[in-house]
Amino acid sequence: MFIRIGYDIELTLTAPTALIYLLRVHPSREHDLLGPENPNLQPGLVSTDYFDAFGNRCGRIQVPPQVSTVRLTHQAIVYDTGLPDPVHGDACQHAPEELPTEVLQFLLPSRYCEVDSELLAFAWSQFGGSPVGWGRVQAICDFVNQRIRFDYNQARSNRSALQGFHEQTGVCRDFAHLAVTLCRCMNIPARYATGYLGDIGIPPVRYPMDFSAWFEVYLGGAWHTFDARHNTPRIGRVVMARGRDAGDVPITMTFGPNALTRFEVTTDEVL
């Protein structure tokens, strides 16, 4: 199957600044694109591409003093198998001493994932008796899916996993942060992921299209996709970036005052 992906994002700025964005398809999915990605940056701005510490492809723009509005637009077609997220129920859990060195960072606390908090004791009391490995991660997804109520109007960019646990409301990033934190509490490496996930294979939802957040865990020597918000394998997931939490993978970030004046995301199956 083929999926049309894209965005139209506009920011209003009050001063010259640097702007970074993580809006390209992740390098692991670049071979699925029908053509190269060429974001359109208005008004006539030039982007410098680079790779961050997590292997994500990023863009950097220097916004000059005479520019007060920056608009980023792009559309592309990406090939997808049309299959739901794989399920590997027999994937085993590794003891921390068996993990590759590069995976250990995904056991540690991070900005929005407070492993060193009351969630540590809670996780062991709640999930200590669950089957290790895939079954334990699924138990965590089941819990988070029931604990947090999705509410687009309650989105907040600085809500942490612990706050989401207590407030019991949020959006997909809050589901992912809490699930990541509980997995790390149980010594299961977990990382945050963001990208495209359209209403493919499901009835259309009433919320506006947006980028999505989910998470991945390291089991059986490989990374596997889980989604605590939807809590079911989905079709058409296209990853853009991965990191310890949302702080590592901002869609856009400006180093100065700004306002988001336009935000549209496209994720449609091409018939």
What are the residues facing 2 on neighbouring strands?
79, 270
Q: What's the confidence (pLDDT) of residue 26?
A: 97
Q: At 119, is the secondary structure helix, strand, or coil?
A: helix
Domains of the chain, residue spans: 2-82+251-270, 96-234
Specify whether the backbone of 135 is left (phi greater than 0), alpha (psi in -120 to 50) or beta: alpha
Band (256; pLDDT cuts 50, 70, 90):
confident
What does the pLDDT look like over 116-159, one tens digit per residue? 999 999 999 999 999 999 999 999 999 999 999 999 889 998 99
Domains 2-82+251-270 and 96-234 share a fold: no
What does the pLDDT look like over 42-72, one tens digit per residue? 998 989 999 999 999 999 999 999 899 999 9
Topology of the domain covering 96-234: C8orf32 fold (3.10.620)
Topology of the domain covering 2-82+251-270: Immunoglobulin-like (2.60.40)
Closest by CA to 77, choosing from 264, 236, 261, is: 236
Q: How many residues does the chain have?
A: 271
**85's tokens:** 């997220």
Q: Kindly tell me if the per-residue pLDDT of 38 is higher than 80.
A: yes
Residue in the structure block whose two tokens are 């901002």: 250
Band (183; pLDDT cuts 50, 70, 90):
very high
